[in-house]
Structure formats: structure tokens, C-alpha cells
Chain A
Amino acid sequence: MSRVSVPCHVKGTVALQVGDVRTSQGRPGVLVIDVTFPSVAPFELQEIMFKNYYTAFLSIRVRQHTSMHTPAKWVTCLRDYCLMPDPHSEEGAQEYVSLFKHQMLCDMARVLELRLILRQPSPLWLSFTVEELQIYQQGPKSPSMTFPKWLSHPVPCEQPVPLLEGLPDPSRVSSEVQQMWALTEMIRASHTSARIGRFDVDGCYDLNLLSYT
């Protein structure tokens, strides 16, 4: 299914913390990231993709466009999605993640704004966030082709020529030939990723020193 990236504006992360941020000892365990779409009309969300950086759990809330004149409400579409099975260890800490429409709790038909709520309960990490956030909507469907009339409505065929003695049935032969042609096309289209074993360049392996780049 094709998808199209939606340009979004990711606001800075806001830490949620009890008490004064400056004076309290501990680090915040909850961050909120707001994602707005200033130049795009309400769209149907297909996929959210990002690179995790030490976030353990993710919740997403969405504000959708309603046709009535009621104010749009925030609805939770993803609750406590686990990105790191063990928040204290590195598993899943820097993975690339995709979240799809069918994983969401509600319909994502006319998205106005998204709010990502990141949680990292472990005190071991200095910071956590999600990076390279990208939102995708459904791409255009493949354009329907209009066939010429003679292709979709073939002329009814004339009476078949009576079979000549000793020759095979032409329709059977043509279907067999079609199958063989399909197989040869497949073989021709395939290519391999096998490597050729030479390590020298035209027989020469006279080297400089090893390079550091």
C-alpha cells in the first residue's frame, strides 16, 4: 500500500513533573510531545514511524476534526504501548518502530493533532525521547485504467476450424506455450546477489597502508 509523508511540526518536549523542575532531585519520567499539521487539512493517518531513544512506554492521544460545530476532543488511540520490555536494560532502546492504523484504538479518519506521551519509569537513564518522527497518510490509489472497448468486449469468435488429422489441439498447445513463456520470463527477471571471489584489482594486490576512514 503506498503511503505519503505528511509534513508535521513537532513541538519541543514538555516534561511532566510534580513539584518544581529546578529544585527537585529526580529526573522526569513522563514527557509529552505535541505534533501539529499546520499546512495540511485533516487527513487519514496510515502509519507513525520513529526511532526510539530509551522510551519505555508510549501513549498517543489524537484530536480529530468533527463535522458538527462541537469542539474537537482528545481521544486516546494508543495506550501504554511497550517499546522496552525491561525498562532497566538496553533491549529495544534504540529500535526503529512503526505503528499502524489497525493498531489504534479509535478511528484515525480526520486527524488534526497528535500528542505523544512518553514514559520511562527507570531512573537509570539520563534522558529519553523519540527521534526522526514521521507521519504517513494513505497514498493515492493506483489510477484505474480504461481498457479499449475491443479488449474488454471481444468480438464473438467464428466457428472453429475443424481439427486437421494428426495435429494436436491448438488451444492446448497455446496454453502450454504460455506457461513455458511465463517460466522463462521469471528466470530472466531473477538476479542474484552472489559475489565474485576476486580480491585483487586486475591481478594487482600491492597495497598502501590501511586507511582509517
Chain B
Amino acid sequence: MLQEESDISLIIAQIVQKLKGSNLYAQLERQAWASLQRPEIKLESLKEDIKEFFKISGWEKKLQNAVYSELSVFPLPSHPAAPPEHLKEPLVYMRKAQGSWEKRILKSLNSMCTELSIPLARKRPVGEQKELLNKWNEMGTDEPDLSLFRPVYAPKDFLEVLINLRNPNYENGDSLSFRTHLGLIQVPLKVKDIPELKECFVELGLNTGQLGIDDSTQVPPELFENEHVRIGQKVLAEQDSAAAQQYVRQGSPTALRAELWALILNISSQPEDILYYEQLKTNVIQHDLLVDSLIYKDVKLTASNDDYYFVFEDYLYQVLLCFSRDTSVLGHFAYNSASPPKSYIRGKLGLEEYAVFYPPNGVIPFHGFSMYVAPLCFLYHEPSKLYQVFREMYVRFFFRLHSISSHPSGIVSLCLLFETLLQTYLPQLFYHLREIGAQPLRISFKWMVRAFSGYLATDQLLLLWDRILGYNSLEILAVLAAAVFAFRAVNLMEVTSLAAAEAVLADLSTLKVMPLLQIFLFATVT
């Protein structure tokens, strides 16, 4: 139909526009020029011959991967009359809530700045620059005085904002009626129920092999594991992003995971990328930001205290400090309901030519932010590749966990999905916890905001993140949270306070993620 054709051509035009500025475009151009030397390229049929050459030499596959990556990340072009803020977030009241939350964060940062008399940004003197360059690989040994710094906000502050989120057009009567949500989230977003989740996560079903279940020691590897590894190697040889994404839905073998994730996220280690990372490193050395101290504090408080991740402390600084200087991250604010904080050069307040974003990447880290990077350190040891993978994971997934939006993978929808699943399939447990003042979301929120990083054992966490990449959605986090509650339901029914409930769910490090998910979705009698 006419409408679909014009939609597709609009999408194509948008993707072409985006890809034109990329490395891949320059490389394809160079390849095309070089191919003119080849005998099979004839001048009359120049276009067709070059296209054929690209197909044979594997460049068409790279282009396919790039297009697939764009389709996965960017939302489809919306109605032509829709303003840009509509693309960030269609619901007006959520935009307003995000705006006021951001204002609170800015006020907090500004007051920290004035109280401690520390500038937001400062150019380092040459001596200090040299010192930092020497210490670059062991910044963890530095022990700056961070006692006066406090994190800008913690997940529980954010939860309070979400609890108070209200749609002004919604019947929010004070009296309890069929309209009231029994959980903490009071906005009526559409969430999936178990039949729909079963359809969505069909590869996690009982009849399909999974890594995390069917590779345990009791199961002979000939049944599933060997074949799965063989297919994984074939996918890597083909270098096909879409196939890799489909493949990791059943889990990724440990040996292949680093390459598979890089393929799905369409990350190539070109010299230009390494150069870009070095440029960011130079920016870190030249300017000192207040945000750096927040990052230091966060790493010291969270990752350094974790049994699994403390060894990666230096890597975390190298990634997060560079991340703060990366202006390419600003691109994701087109589809993120959040907006980057703005400031002006000193003395030039109000002049638009002197307006800048602070921090340069527009992302203010909160308590626990470094835990998004820590698990990746197990997979990637080369700083620029680790950096690229983290950046891509952030602009695809992690940003949704700390901004207010109506997106199905946004934290508000995940919270509502968790509460709805619990209420529908474990009503007795839900009622009991509510009665003793232990609303389940108060316990599970911190798990979901951190994508379970730091709560699960690392091998289990990586199996979970395999599925996040495979399904291109964060809904699995809410399903896992509900499955954990279902698993510990018997103990939870006996507690009589929020503190006791927290104690029952304090330690998740022994849990096996895939059996929990499988049982909750496919084997629970409803």
C-alpha cells in the first residue's frame, strides 16, 4: 500500500543519512576506488560490478550488519508532524516528570559545587597532566580525599520519584477501587502477561536447549552443547549480526561470548576506533571534571568492595572517565526521554555560542553506575574495545534503567511488569508482603536498575545479559525478579517485616538464572 511504501523509503533515507557519516561509509568508498583496478569491473556496468564485488568480498555483509544495528537502536520514524520531544517520549506527563527529576539532579550537583568550592571543570596544569599520564594504568592506587563527595542520587531516591508518578488524566481516586494499582507504580502502561511473554521468549522454552541448563555436568555434551558451540563458530565465521543475535537467545559459550557480543553490537576494532579512544584519554588528562570525583567515589563504594570485580578497578576508571568525555554519546538523547545538562563558559552566560553540555557526554553518574561496566571486564581486556562495548550497551539498553519513559524496556514498565506478574501469579505472596509493609518492588528495584550486576554470580549474570542482547529488550530483568520471588516464596510467606523480607532476598549469588526463568515462564501451573 502507498503508506507502507512511503514509510519504508523514509526509514531507508534516515538510515542512509546516519550511515553516511560513519567509518563504514569511508571504508566502502575506499574499497570501491581500489576495486576499479580489478579486471572484472567494467566501466559500462560500473554500479552492478562494484555491487557484485562487495557481495563476494564480504563488504555487503558489513553493510547489512550496520543497517541491522541502526534498525535495532533507533526507533522507527514517527509521524512527520511529531516534534522531536515526541520521539524522546510520547506522553507529556512523563516528559514533565523527567524534566523535574533532572532539575533536582542539577540542583544537587550545583549545590555540591558551591558547598565544596570546586569548579565543575578545570584545566589541569602541565605537571598534573604528566603525573596522571604516568599513573594511567594504576589509578586505583590513588587515594584522593572523597569524604566530602556524595553520590548525586541513589536508586532508592529514583524509586520515590517513580512511586509519585501520576497521569493527570487518570482516575487516581483516594478510595480503593478496581482502578487502584495494588503495587507502588500507579501509571497504566501496557505490560505483557505470561502467555505473551511465553510467545516473546519462545527460545527459552522447555523443549529448546539452553546454556545455563543443558550444559550442566550431568547432561552429556553430545545432546546439545557440542552442536551449539559448532553453530556459534559458524555464526562468527559468517560475521552476521542478525544471526548472532538469534543465536545468543539460547546462551553463548564462554569462549565465543566476547566476539559474539561485539558482532551483535556491530563493534569493529578499526585503527580509527583506537585513535578515538586515545583522543578521549587525552581529554581526560587535559581537563579535570567534578564528575570524575563522583566516578571515583562510586567505584570505591561499589565495584572495589565486590569480591568478583575489585580486580578490575583500574579498568573501570579508564572506561568511565573516558565515557564522560565522549560527545558521540549525545546522539542517544534523540530517543532518550532525558536531556543532557547544559552550561555556559564562565562570563558568557546566556550566549548560545558559548553553551556546552556538562559532562561532555550528558550523563551524570549515580550510585552504582560503575556496575554496568564491571561485568564486561571479564570479557574484554583491551581498553578501547572494552570501552566501545560498554558505550554501545549503554546507548542501547542501560540508559533506559534510569530515565522516566513509557518505553516497554524503560524502568517504569519493568517495575509495572514485575508487580503485575507477582500480583497475578503469586497473589497470596503479594498480599502478604503488602500487608506487612514490604512492597515487593522496594526489594527488587535495585536489582533491575543495575541489571542484576553485583547481585548474581558473574557467569549467571553473563547468561542473563546474553538474553538481553538476544531479545533486544530488558523485560527479562522483570521476569527474573518475579521468578526469584517465586523461588523464595515459601520463606517469604513466613516473614513479618520489610527487614526480614530483605534478609531472605539479600543473597542471590547462589541462584541459577535460566532454570528460574524457565520454570516461571513455562512450568508454573497457573
Question: Do A and B interact?
Answer: yes
Given contacts A90-B190, A124-B171, A125-B171, contact A98 B44 (CB under 8 A): no
Does A194 touch B at the CB level, under 8 Å?
yes
The 0/1 profile, CB within 8 Å of B marked 1, for residues 84-97 of chain A is 01101111011111
Chain B minimum-CB-distance residue to A97: B79
Given contacts A97-B79, A102-B2, A200-B287, contact A126 B343 (CB under 8 A): no
Chain A minimum-CB-distance residue to B91: A94
Does A18 touch B at the CB level, under 8 Å?
no
List chain A residues, Cβ under 8 A from B121. 205-207
Chain B minimum-CB-distance residue to A27: B171
Q: Quick one: which of B154-182 are within 8 Å of A by CB?
A: 167-171, 179
Does A188 touch B at the CB level, under 8 Å?
no
CB distance B91 to A93 under 8 Å? yes
CB distance B86 to A124 under 8 Å? no
Q: How many residues of B contact A (CB 8 A)?
A: 66
CB distance A125 to B170 under 8 Å? yes
Given contacts A95-B90, A199-B327, contact A206 B21 (CB under 8 A): no
CB distance A86 to B79 under 8 Å? no
List chain B residues, Cβ under 8 A from A142. none
How many angstroms between the C-alpha atoms of A192 and B326 in the bound complex?
19
Does A69 touch B at the CB level, under 8 Å?
no
CB distance A200 to B356 under 8 Å? yes
Which of A123, A191, A192, A206 meets B119, CB within 8 Å? Answer: A206
List chain A residues, Cβ under 8 A from B506. none
Does A77 touch B at the CB level, under 8 Å?
no
How many angstroms between the C-alpha atoms of A123 and B178 in the bound complex?
11
Chain A minimum-CB-distance residue to B346: A206
Given contacts A124-B170, A211-B343, contact A205 B106 (CB under 8 A): no
CB distance A208 to B344 under 8 Å? yes
Which of B78, B79, B356, B406 meets A205, CB within 8 Å? Answer: B356
List chain A residues, Cβ under 8 A from B169. 53-54, 125-128
CB distance B20 to A190 under 8 Å? yes
CB distance B327 to A195 under 8 Å? yes
Q: Quick one: which of B280-326 are within 8 Å of A by CB?
A: 283, 287, 325-326
CB distance A195 to B331 under 8 Å? yes
List chain A residues, Cβ under 8 A from B119. 206-207
How many angstroms between the C-alpha atoms of A209 and B107 in the bound complex?
9
How many angstroms between the C-alpha atoms of A94 and B106 in the bound complex?
29
CB distance A212 to B345 under 8 Å? no
Does A148 touch B at the CB level, under 8 Å?
no
Which of A85, A102, A128, A172 meets B1, CB within 8 Å? Answer: A102
Which of A54, A96, A124, A193 meets B81, CB within 8 Å? Answer: A96
Does A210 touch B at the CB level, under 8 Å?
yes
Q: How many residues of A contact B (CB 8 A)?
A: 52
CB distance A211 to B342 under 8 Å? yes
Given contacts A91-B190, A176-B44, A195-B331, contact A206 B170 (CB under 8 A): no
List chain B residues, Cβ under 8 A from A53. 169
Does A81 touch B at the CB level, under 8 Å?
no
Distance (whole angstroms) from the CB of B504 to the closest CB of chain A: 32
CB distance A208 to B170 under 8 Å? no
Distance (whole angstroms) from the CB of A47 to the closest CB of chain B: 11
Does A204 touch B at the CB level, under 8 Å?
yes
List chain A residues, Cβ under 8 A from B187. 90
List chain A residues, Cβ under 8 A from B113. 209
List chain B residues, Cβ under 8 A from A183. 46
Does B357 touch A at the CB level, under 8 Å?
yes
Does B436 touch A at the CB level, under 8 Å?
no
Does B216 touch A at the CB level, under 8 Å?
no
List chain A residues, Cβ under 8 A from B213. none
Does A170 touch B at the CB level, under 8 Å?
no
Chain A minimum-CB-distance residue to B360: A199
How many angstroms between the C-alpha atoms of A124 and B168 in the bound complex?
11
List chain A residues, Cβ under 8 A from B328. 195, 197
List chain A residues, Cβ under 8 A from B20. 190-194
The 0/1 profile, CB within 8 Å of B marked 1, for residues 13-42 of chain A is 000000000000000000000000000000
Chain A minimum-CB-distance residue to B93: A94
How many angstroms between the C-alpha atoms of A135 and B95 in the bound complex?
28
17 extra A-B contacts, CB within 8 A, seeds A98-B79, A193-B18, A208-B349: A53-B169, A54-B169, A176-B44, A179-B43, A192-B25, A194-B20, A194-B22, A197-B276, A197-B326, A199-B325, A200-B356, A204-B123, A206-B119, A209-B114, A210-B341, A210-B343, A211-B349
Selected A-B contacts with CB under 8 Å, 7 pairs: A90-B188, A126-B170, A195-B21, A201-B353, A205-B287, A206-B122, A210-B342
Closest 8 CB pairs of A and B: A194-B21, A199-B360, A192-B21, A96-B79, A89-B190, A192-B20, A91-B190, A207-B120
